[in-house]
Chain A
Amino acid sequence: MNKKERVMRTLDHEEPDLVPMTEMSIDPGHLETITQTRFIGETSLQTPVSADRRAEMNRVATIVLAYRKLGFELIPCDLSAPDGWSSKKNPDSTMTDEWGRVLSYDSKCKTWVPTNSIFAIPEDFERFPFPDPHASGRTFAIAEMKKNIGDEMALAAFIRDPFAHAWEMFKITDFVRWFYEKPHFIRRVIERITDFNIEMIKQVADTKVDLIISGGDYSEKRGPFVPVRFFKDVIFPNLLRQVEAAHKAGLRFIKHSDGNLNPILDHLASIVDGLHSLDPTAGVNIGDVKLRYGDRLVLIGNVAVDSLCRKTKEEIVEETKECLRRAAPGGGYILSSSNSWYTDAKLENCLAMVDAGRRYGAYPINVP
Chain B
Amino acid sequence: MGVDEVKSRVEMALAEKIPPFKIVQSMRQGLSTAGRKYEEGEYFLSELIMSGIMAQELSKMLRPYLQSSRDQVLGKVVIGTVKGDLHDIGKNLVSIMLSSAGFEIIDLGVDVSAEKFVGAVEKENPNIVAMSCLLTIAMDEMKRTIDELAEAEQRRKVKVLVGGRPITLDFAREIGADGYGSDAVEAVKAAMGALRK
List residues of A whose CB falls within 8 A of some B CB: 104, 106, 108-109, 113, 115, 172-173, 176-177, 179-181, 220-228, 306, 309-310, 342-344
Which of B45-53, B118-126, B189-197 has 4 or more CB atoms under 8 Å from chain A? B45-53
Of the residues A108, A177, A228, contact of B137 by C-beta under 8 Å:
A108
Selected contact of A173 from candidates B53, B85, B137, CB within 8 Å = B53
Report yes or no: B45 in contact with A222, Cβ–Cβ below 8 A.
yes
A222 contacts which of B38, B84, B135 (Cβ < 8 Å)? Answer: B38
Q: Is the CB of A176 within 8 A of B53?
A: yes
Pair A176/B135 contact, Cβ less than 8 Å: no
**CB atoms of A181 and B2 under 8 A apart:** yes
Chain A residues within 8 Å of B53, by CB: 173, 176-177
Q: Does B3 contact A (CB under 8 A)?
A: yes
Chain B residues closer than 8 Å to A179, beta-carbon distance: 46, 50
The answer to the question of B30 belonging to the interface, with a C-beta cut-off of 8 Å to chain A, is no
- Show 20 A/B contacts (Cβ-Cβ < 8 Å), sorted by A: A108-B84, A108-B138, A109-B135, A115-B110, A172-B92, A172-B93, A173-B53, A176-B46, A177-B3, A177-B53, A180-B2, A180-B46, A222-B41, A223-B44, A223-B45, A227-B44, A228-B44, A306-B136, A309-B136, A344-B136
B89 contacts chain A at the CB level, 8 A cutoff: yes
Q: Which residue of chain A has its CB nearest to the CB of B53?
A: A177
Which of B45, B47, B136 contacts A220, CB < 8 Å?
B45
Within 8 A of A (CB), among B144-171: 165-166
Interface centre among B2, B3, B86 (most CB of A within 10 A): B86
Residue from B2, B39, B46, B135 within 8 A of A227 (CB atoms)? B46
Besides the known contacts A172-B93, A222-B38, A226-B45, 7 further A-B residue pairs in the complex with CB atoms under 8 A apart: A104-B86, A176-B53, A222-B45, A223-B41, A223-B45, A227-B47, A343-B135
CA distance A106 to B46 in the complex (A): 27
Q: Which B residues touch A225, using CB under 8 A?
A: 44-46
Contact flag A306-B166 (CB < 8 Å), given A109-B135, A173-B92: yes
B96 at interface by CB-CB < 8 Å: yes
CA of A344 to CA of B166, assembled, Å: 11
Choose among A176, A181, A224, A227 the residue with the greatest number of B CB atoms under 10 Å from its CB: A176
Q: Is B87 an interface residue (CB 8 A)?
A: yes
Residue of B nearest to A281 (CB): B165
Which residues of A lie under 8 Å from residue B183 when comparing CB positions?
221-222
Interface assignment of B107: CB less than 8 Å from any CB of chain A: no
Please, which residues of chain A bring their CB within 8 A of the CB of B135? 108-109, 342-344
Quick check: A106 and B49 within 8 Å, CB to CB? no
Q: Which 9 A-B pairs have the closest CB atoms?
A: A181-B2, A344-B136, A309-B136, A344-B137, A176-B49, A226-B46, A113-B86, A344-B135, A176-B46
Q: Which chain A residues lie closer than 8 Å to B178 at the CB level? A: none
Contact partners of A115 in chain B: CB under 8 A? 86, 88, 110
Distance, CA A310 to CA B136, complexed state (A): 8
Distance, CA A108 to CA B87, complexed state (A): 12
* Bound CA–CA A306/B134 (angstroms): 11
Q: Kindly provide the distance from the CB of B145 to the nearest chain A CB, expressed in whole angstroms.
A: 17
Nearest B-chain residue to A221, judged by Cβ:
B183
How far apart sit A115 and B86, CA to CA, in the bound complex (Å)? Answer: 7
> B15 near A: Cβ within 8 Å?
no
B167 to chain A, nearest CB (A): 11
Across the interface, which residues of A come within 8 angstroms of B165, CB to CB?
306
Query: Which has the most chain A C-beta neighbours within 10 Å: B1, B39, B46, B165?
Result: B46
Contact with A along B1-36 (1 / 0, CB 8 A): 111100000000000000000000000000000000
- Interface digits, B163-185 against A, CB 8 Å rule (1 contact, 0 not)? 00110000000000000000100
Instruction: Please give, as numbers and ranges, the residues of chain B lying within 8 Å of A226 by CB-CB distance.
Output: 44-46
A310 proximity list for chain B (CB < 8 A): 136, 166
In the complex, are the beta carbons of A172 and B44 less than 8 A apart? no
Which residue in chain B gives the minimum CB-CB distance to A172? Answer: B89
How far, in angstroms, from A344 to B138 measured CA to CA in the complex? 9
Report chain B residues within 8 Å CB of A343: 135, 137
- Determine the distance from Cα of A151 to Cα of B9 in the docked complex, in whole angstroms: 64
B31-79 with Cβ < 8 A to chain A: 38-39, 41, 44-47, 49-50, 53
A298 to B41, CA, bound (A): 28
